[in-house]
């Protein structure tokens, strides 16, 4: 349950103001068809975060538990600093030819998520927790929790979000998780 809750809360808060959330807003404004957009975000996130958690678990298997906790803790502290930096959406090709709104969303969201802080956090959590299903379910649920309202409510909702406060909350959450893992590394490493 811890893996699910840490993944859900970390990704949901980190996603606020993230480039993929801005992409959700752009897709919603452009296509005005929420259900295929939501389906595209869901599938792209499952693929991206599933792969990230799997890679994290494989890398984590080579490390001593204390060293792994230290590495995850350090990466979460780096994520806390990254969360403070506002994201800007780069130009995205949002063509609907050939596959419709779902395919355009799937491709655009998958590409935008590559190397994103939520994907890297999922990789680290996959290394930290043995329950990959809980990590992927939590991170995907967090992604959907942050993006579905934006897709439905569009620019009116996004314009009212206190993005700076949300980035600070995400940074504090990542910092807390990082410190917890560092404490575990020191405490259980002896």
Rounded Cα distance, 186 and 181, in Å: 9
Q: Please state the rounded mean pLDDT for residues 35-41.
A: 95
**160 pLDDT tier (thresholds 50, 70, 90):** low
Ramachandran area for residue 63 (φ above 0: left; ψ -120 to 50: alpha; else beta): beta
Q: Please state the rounded mean pLDDT for residues 77-86.
A: 75
The first and second tokens of residue 33, run together, are 């068809």
Prediction pTM value: 0.72
- Is 140:45 a contact under the CB 8 Å cutoff? yes
Q: Please state the rounded mean pLDDT for residues 60-86.
A: 77
**87-140 residue pLDDT tens:** 555 444 444 544 589 998 999 888 888 878 888 889 989 998 989 999 999 999
- Is 84:167 a contact under the CB 8 Å cutoff? yes
Question: Chain centroid to CA 35: how far?
Answer: 20
- Is 19:115 a contact under the CB 8 Å cutoff? no
- Higher per-residue pLDDT: 107 or 153: 107
- Higher per-residue pLDDT: 169 or 8: 8
pLDDT given at position 98: 40
pLDDT given at position 93: 45
Question: Chain centroid to CA 186: how far?
Answer: 27
Q: Please state the rounded mean pLDDT for residues 144-156.
A: 84
Closest C-alpha among 34, 19, 8, 5 to residue 110: 19
Rounded Cα distance, 100 and 103, in Å: 6
């Amino acid at each position: 349950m811890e893996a699910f809750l840490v993944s859900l809360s970390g990704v949901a808060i980190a996603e606020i103001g993230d480039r993929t959330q801005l992409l959700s807003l752009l897709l919603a404004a452009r296509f005005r068809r929420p259900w295929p957009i939501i389906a595209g975000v869901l599938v792209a996130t499952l693929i991206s975060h599933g792969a990230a958690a799997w890679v994290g678990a494989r890398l984590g298997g080579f490390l001593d538990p204390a060293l792994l906790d230290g590495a995850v803790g350090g990466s979460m502290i780096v994520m806390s600093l990254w969360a403070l930096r506002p994201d800007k959406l780069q130009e995205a090709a949002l063509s609907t030819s050939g596959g419709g709104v779902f395919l355009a969303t799937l491709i655009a969201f998958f590409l935008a998520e590559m190397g994103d802080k939520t994907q890297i956090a999922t990789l680290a959590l996959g290394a930290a927790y043995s329950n990959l299903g809980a990590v992927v379910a939590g991170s995907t649920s967090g992604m959907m929790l942050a993006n579905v309202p934006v897709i439905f409510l569009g620019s009116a909702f996004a314009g009212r979000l206190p993005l700076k406060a949300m980035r600070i909350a995400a940074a504090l959450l990542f910092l807390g998780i990082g410190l917890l893992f560092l404490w575990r590394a020191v405490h259980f490493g002896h």
